[in-house]
Amino acid sequence: MAGHRLSLLPAAAYDVGFVADADTIGFAFDVQTGSHAVGSDRQENFVRLPNTLALTPGGCDVRSRSDRGGEYLLLSGGGICLAGDCYRTNIPSKSAFRAASRLRMWLLSDALPASLESEACIARLSEAVQKPQRPDKAARWMTGNRFRKVTDRIEADLGSSLTVAGLAAEIGVSASFLSRAFSAYCGQSPYDYIVSRRLQRARALIASTCTPLSEIALSSGFSSQSHMTESFRTRLGISPSKIARPDNR
């Protein structure tokens, strides 16, 4: 894409070490936890929030590992030049999610986007990392512990009938306040986050098992196979049948 290098890393465990050959922008679609050493031998634990950006300047030495990983978009080349020379993560941006999602859709579907549209998405990510947003009041209320409590509950009950009202009641706030705080904290509404996690679970099950799609849909929290298929096409630009299965490899 106009000289840019774009790749989508899967939600899988990793243990890697590298020196960035160019300034790089990363976008985390999922929560990631693990440990890393950046520019030194000192290992530190990290938590990468979903729907946030990261900056890795060219020449930066990184060693990183995670037992679970998370889907991650990488963008470099094409004249990207980041402000400063420091490695930074968890950069919030309300505008980045839509741009990153469009780029992911093109990668998953092997579709060639219009040059102007892809250029606009790349520009939006570049601008977002250069001008990070200041967290508002709702985002400041949503601490890391509160966010983890909500997302842990979502993960545990992903296959059931989750509601924002039910999640809000568990932590003693209204559904509207939880929606504002959650969105301000990670750039995605609770509803969209839940659908994203269900899609992630379904993709993993389709790629790793021979379970019928109808059963995968229900175990991932979709009301039916057709509901899951519609969500795949709308949000990922592909149908579940396009994902390679173990019996077809």
Distances from the Cα of 180 to the Cαs of 28, 95, 108, 142, 220, in angstroms?
A: 20, 16, 30, 10, 25
Residues 56-80: what's their mean pLDDT? 87
pLDDT in tens, 194-219: 999 999 999 999 999 999 999 999 99
Q: What is the mean pLDDT of residues 218-241?
A: 94
Mean predicted confidence (pLDDT) in 88-99 = 86
Model pTM score: 0.78
Residue 2: pLDDT over 70:
no
Q: What are the start and end residues of each CATH 2.60.120 domain in the chain?
A: 4-130
- For the segment 88-96, the average pLDDT, to the nearest whole number, is 85
Please tell me the predicted confidence (pLDDT) of residue 142. 87
Q: State residue 249's pLDDT score.
A: 54
Helices (H), ranges, the chain: 96-109, 115-130, 137-141, 144-156, 164-171, 175-186, 190-208, 213-219, 225-236
Name the fold adopted by 137-248.
Answer: Arc Repressor Mutant, subunit A (1.10.10)
Q: Decide if pLDDT at 156 tops 90.
A: yes
pLDDT at 67: 94
Lowest mean pLDDT among 8-12, 94-98, 138-142, 169-173: 138-142
* CATH tag, 4-130: 2.60.120
Q: What pLDDT, on the 0 to 100 scale, is given for residue 101?
A: 92
Asked if the model's pLDDT at residue 45 lies above 70, the reply is: yes
Burial grade of 78 (CB within 10 A; 0-12, 13-18, 19 or more)? middle
Query: What's the pLDDT score for residue 63?
Result: 93
Question: Is residue 83 pLDDT above 60, yes or no?
Answer: no
Domain with CATH 1.10.10.60 in the chain: 137-248
